């Protein structure tokens, strides 16, 4: 059988103790009864709180079992307490119930089966309550942990936003200055050095811009400025800007975007999308050709950037669009893990999507599918 339940009886009448003890003998060995002869002795035992259940007689000299019960509760005793009385007294029954008694038993009608059943139910109920309390406590602990995590993320985002703005402040005049220097030093032998400084500064500015973007996207302060333009022309312009980067990565850059593909989009934001995809293609596909293609489908414009580089493992494909998510080692490839996040947010704000086809070691194709007009239920507000 199961474990032995320890019960403490507090009763100042020895005859009644004997009668109750006999009932317990009849019940069998699953209960172990101990006896406290007085209110004070019962009180002392309660402090140990070592029993599975308590049975108090109502009459305990000058005081009552209900008073002892109240004290027990005040002491933090959670185990169930049963009250016994000599006569079926409804007032005592209610008083006991209100004070939190697990049951109220009339000695006149008490027998072993009744006592055992009452104790068993009380103990099981108590166990269930405790389990529930434990679960509730765990839930509260999890909720608190979740709140702490949210707070930590908020602090991080605030820091990022402040850091990005602060980093950008000295960069803007620095870039202007380098531009002026370049003009002043035209033809001078140090010009190539200024060029390098300028390129690195632009690169730094791009990184800071991604950080700024990610904070605006996060604050939901991102709005599209739509205008009508040709995506093919935009793709060619961005590709042109990337010529020197293509050469530095020894990638042959092929642009097949001859046809006019007009639509109502945010020019600046789509330039960013193409730029992010291209710079990834050069970064992860060094020494191999990169192709930009444009076509139209029933869904809208389709712009794809294909490289023949390292490719992406299947399990990482979904993840790489998340904030700060990266699938390649930062030792080999630098980056903040923001380019695809920003690109995806921009494309989704246009009502479009980005598809990825990739094979590790074979290369990747990122395809942007864009509706040519603003969807009727646009998710992002338009400001002209
Ligand atoms: P970053 O390049 O700064 O890490 P991105 O958000 O642009 O951040 O890309 C996220 C991750 O997706 C990269 O870290 C890389 O693992 C993977 N990835 C993106 N583009 C390519 C690509 N063309 N080829 C292989 N992996 C890529």
pLDDT digits 0-9 by tens, 130-146:
999 999 999 999 999 99
**Ligand 1: does its nearest atom lie under 6 Å from the Cβ of 52?**
no
Q: Whose CA is nearest to atom 12 of ligand 1?
A: 320
The answer to whether the CB of 275 is under 6 A from ligand 1 is no
Tell me which of 3.90.1200.10, 3.40.50.1400, 3.40.190.10, 3.40.50.2300 is the CATH number of domain 5-110.
Answer: 3.40.50.2300
Joined together, the tokens standing for residue 78 give: 């959670």
Position in ligand 1 atom list of the atom nearest CA 338: 6
Residue 150 Cα, ligand 1 centroid: separation in angstroms?
Answer: 26
Atom of ligand 1 nearest to the CA of 321: 6
Which fold does the domain 225-382 belong to in CATH? Heat Shock Protein 90 (3.30.565)
Give me the mean pLDDT over the 364-378 stretch: 87
| Extents of the domains making up the chain | 5-110, 139-219, 225-382
Task: For the chain, give the number of residues.
Answer: 384
Q: In this predicted model, what pLDDT tens digit does every residue of 149-202 receive, in sequence order?
A: 999 988 988 888 889 889 999 999 999 999 999 999 999 999 999 999 998 998
Q: What is the mean pLDDT of the chain?
A: 91
Cβ–ligand 1 distance for 335 under 6 Å, the answer yes
Tell me the whole-structure pTM to 2 decimals: 0.65
Least confident window among 87-91, 193-197, 230-234: 87-91
316-342 pLDDT tens trace: 999 999 888 888 877 788 788 889 999
Compute the distance between CA of residue 157 and CA of residue 154 in angstroms, rounded to an integer: 5
Fold for the domain defined by 139-219: Helix Hairpins (1.10.287)
Name 241's Cβ contacts closer than 8 Å, sequence gap at least 6.
275
Q: Which two tokens stand for residue 336?
A: 């903040």
Least confident of 34-38, 233-237, 252-256, 334-338: 334-338
User: Helix 112-184 vs helix 14-27: angle between axes, to the nearest 10 degrees?
Assistant: 80
Nearest residue (by CA) to ligand 1, atom 19, is 280
DSSP character string of 300-334: EEEEEEE--SS---GGGTTGGGSTT--SS-TTTS-
Which of 282, 328, 347 for a ligand 1 pocket mutation test, highest count of atoms within 8 Å of Cβ? 328
Confidence band for 92, pLDDT divided at 50, 70 and 90? confident
pLDDT digits (tens, 9 = 90+) for 273-284: 999 999 999 999
């Amino acid at each position: 059988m199961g474990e032995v339940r320890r019960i403490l009886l507090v009763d100042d009448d020895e005859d009644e103790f004997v009668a109750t003890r006999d009932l317990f003998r009849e019940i069998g060995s699953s209960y172990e009864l101990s006896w406290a002869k007085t209110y004070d002795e019962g009180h002392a035992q309660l402090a140990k709180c070592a029993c599975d259940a308590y049975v108090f007689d109502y009459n305990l000299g000058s005081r009552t079992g209900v008073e002892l019960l109240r004290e027990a509760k005040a002491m933090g005793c959670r185990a169930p307490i049963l009250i016994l009385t000599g006569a079926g007294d409804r007032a005592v029954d209610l008083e006991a119930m209100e004070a939190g008694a697990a049951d109220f038993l009339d000695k006149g009608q008490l027998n072993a089966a009744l006592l055992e059943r009452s104790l068993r139910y009380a103990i099981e109920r108590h166990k269930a309550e405790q389990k529930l309390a434990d679960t509730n406590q765990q839930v509260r602990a999890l909720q608190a942990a979740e709140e702490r995590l949210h707070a930590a993320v908020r602090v991080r985002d605030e820091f990022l936003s402040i850091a990005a703005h602060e980093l950008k402040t000295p960069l803007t005049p620095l870039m202007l200055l380098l531009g002026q220097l370049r003009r002043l030093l035209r033809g001078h032998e140090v010009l190539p050095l200024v060029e390098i400084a300028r390129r690195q500064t632009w690169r730094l500015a791009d990184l800071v811009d991604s950080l700024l973007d990610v904070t605006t996207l996060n604050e939901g302060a991102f709005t599209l400025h739509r205008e009508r333009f040709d995506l093919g022309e935009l793709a060619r312009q961005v590709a042109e800007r990337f010529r020197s980067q293509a050469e530095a990565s020894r990638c042959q850059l092929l642009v097949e975007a001859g046809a006019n593909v007009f639509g109502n989009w945010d020019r600046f934001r789509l330039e960013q999308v193409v730029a992010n995809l291209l710079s990834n293609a050069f970064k992860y596909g060094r020494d191999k050709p990169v192709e930009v293609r444009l076509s139209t489908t029933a869904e809208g414009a389709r712009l794809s950037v294909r490289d023949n580089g390292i490719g992406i493992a299947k399990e990482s494909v979904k993840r790489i669009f998340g904030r700060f998510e990266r699938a390649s080692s930062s030792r080999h490839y630098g980056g903040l893990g923001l380019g695809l996040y920003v690109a995806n947010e921009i494309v989704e704000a246009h009502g479009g999507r980005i598809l990825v086809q990739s094979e590790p070691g074979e290369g990747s194709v990122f395809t942007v599918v864009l509706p040519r007009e603003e969807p009727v239920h646009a998710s992002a507000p338009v400001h002209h």
